[in-house]
Amino acid sequence: MKVTLITGSAHKNGTSALLAEKFIEGALDAGHEVFRFDAAFETVHPCLACEHCASHNTECVYKDSMEKLNEKLIDADVIAFASPLYYYTVSAQLKAVMDRFHAKNAIISGNKKAVMLASAYGSDDQTFEAMNKMFESSLQFLNWENAGTVYATGSPVREMLEATDFPNQAYILGKNLK
């Protein structure tokens, strides 16, 4: 199975990075092929909704890092997202990538599974409510199947996350992909 993981954190060793690492470890242990795209360290311009892609065979007006990601998105069986919680949703870096799916919607829609891995300082029951709604709405729009989530509450720093079961849950999610 081909897995494309898109991270959204600017912290290479942060909390969502740990979830991503553990998810990748599990997926590789299960024999899956994994491509990791760290959005915060790539050049991804925001979608302008200029519709250039609509009249140019899904080609975006921008020539940036999305060109290498698009091929992996198209080929992937599973798209995984990893992000810290920023104002109740994914980080701006990850959101910019997701907005750029617009050019390839018709190509990537259907026959894929998706995973959300996220970390947050907050720990109440509503911490991930808005992010989960965005994730579920995106899956519905793209006709993708939810293959699982790990929402790591109460994890503002890596050391605190390491003391929880959330990294193990991310590993198991990667290992059990089907």
User: pLDDT at position 70, please?
Assistant: 97
CA 118 to chain centre: 9
The residue behind tokens 């990537």 is: 108
**Closest of 147, 164, 138 to residue 22, by C-alpha:** 164
The residue behind tokens 């360290």 is: 41
Query: Treating both helix axes as pointing N-terminal to C-terminal, what angle do 92-100 and 66-75 enclose, rounded to 10 degrees?
Result: 70
Is 122 within 8 Å of 154 (Cβ atoms)?
yes
User: pLDDT at position 56, please?
Assistant: 95
Interval 63-109: pLDDT, tens: 999 999 999 999 999 999 999 999 999 999 999 999 999 999 999 99
Is it the case that residue 10 has pLDDT exceeding 90? yes
User: pLDDT at position 125, please?
Assistant: 86
Domains detected in the chain: 2-75+91-175 (3.40.50.360)
pTM: 0.97
